[in-house]
Amino acid sequence: MKFLIKPVLALSIFALVAPVYAFEVSSKDIQEGHPMAKTFEYKGWGCDGGNLSPQLMWKDAPEGTKSFAITAFDPDAPTGSGFWHWVAINIPASVSELPRGVNIEKLGGQNLRIDYGTVGFGGVCPPENDGMHRYQFTVWALPTEKLNLNEDTSAAVAGFTLNSMALDKVTLTATYTR
């Protein structure tokens, strides 16, 4: 009987001192593993969608979070290196939701250049008949209020920077096919 009590007691004490957070991201516009609407398709490069960013919300960011970044990445793009659709940084820690078609600058954040050659969100636009593409919308919790990157910083360098310092990150992956 003594052997059963000690492990249970140890687990109970651990549960009291272990950090209790599970950083989560969700959306009213896109769902994990499901196709996105044409509203989120790019307008250009042969696509004629609404080019709006989806609504995103997150909760339970880790302690010490001072800002957020948002990225949208297509690992299935036929480039050999994927395709960056959005890199937004310096989003204040007080923000936990982005409305559809958000203006990041109005929230205090900053957009960087993406692979379309523009600054800001660029919707999905996989090549026709290229099969299903995954679009990874990632929210990054960061330990600093401001990243010293400018709008011409490449998405790859921004991704490297985010990976090197993030306290945590959560990803919602939606799909699209043309």
Distance CA 153, CA 168 (A): 22
- Domain segments of the chain as ranges: 23-176
Whole-number pLDDT of residue 10: 46
Whole-number pLDDT of residue 33: 97
Please check whether residue 100 is in contact with residue 29, taking contact to mean a CB–CB distance below 8 angstroms. yes
* CATH 3.90.280.10, domain 23-176, yes or no: yes
Whole-number pLDDT of residue 14: 46
Please check whether residue 141 is in contact with residue 62, taking contact to mean a CB–CB distance below 8 angstroms. yes
Whole-number pLDDT of residue 12: 46
Asked if the model's pLDDT at residue 171 lies above 60, the reply is yes
Distance CA 160, CA 132 (A): 26
pLDDT digits (tens, 9 = 90+) for 42-97: 999 999 999 999 999 999 999 999 999 999 999 999 999 999 999 999 999 999 99
User: Which residues lie below 8 Å from residue 27, measured CB to CB, with a gap of 6+?
Assistant: 54, 55, 56, 57, 137, 172
Task: Label residue 5 by pLDDT band (50, 70, 90).
Answer: very low
Q: Where are the beta strands (DSSP E) in 55-117?
A: 56-59, 67-74, 83-92, 97-98, 110-111
pLDDT digits (tens, 9 = 90+) for 108-167: 999 999 999 999 999 999 999 999 999 999 999 999 999 999 999 999 999 999 999 999
Whole-number pLDDT of residue 173: 98
Whole-number pLDDT of residue 17: 54
Distance CA 132, CA 89 (A): 28
SS3 (DSSP) at 85: strand
> Encoding tokens for residue 41?
């398709």
Whole-number pLDDT of residue 99: 98
Whole-number pLDDT of residue 16: 53
